[in-house]
Amino acid sequence: MWKVLGVIAAILLIINFRKGQNSVWGGLSLGIIIGFIIAIVLAFMGKGFNWFVILKTITIGTIVGFLADLLGKVPKLFR
């Protein structure tokens, strides 16, 4: 499941590459920050530094950013 979501997130990043600053890239950045925080906390708890947690948060952040971008376009549909 995470491989499919990761591919979807990568496609969303490629599609939104030339659009400058937008919610998709903001979600990616937030996912990286939150992922590193969670991975560091888990490392201090003795479970080891887990890169897969960071990849999961990056994927979730990118998809949530895309959904936020779609929500910004909803009012334009009703004009």
Report domain extents, the chain: 22-73
User: Is the pLDDT score of 61 beyond 90?
Assistant: yes
Planar angle of CA 9, 27, 79, nearest 5 degrees: 90
Q: 19 falls in which pLDDT band (50, 70, 90)? A: confident
Q: How many Å apart are CA 51 and CA 2, to the nearest integer? A: 13
Which pLDDT tens digit goes with each residue over 34-49? 999 999 999 999 888 8
In the numeric block, the tokens 């990849």 are attached to 55
Q: How many Å apart are CA 40 and CA 5, to the nearest integer? A: 24
Q: Which DSSP string corresponds to 40-62?
A: HHHHHTTS---HHHHHHHHHHHH
Helical (H) or strand (E) element with 36: helix 23-44
What is the pLDDT, as a whole number, of residue 20?
72
pTM given for the model: 0.83
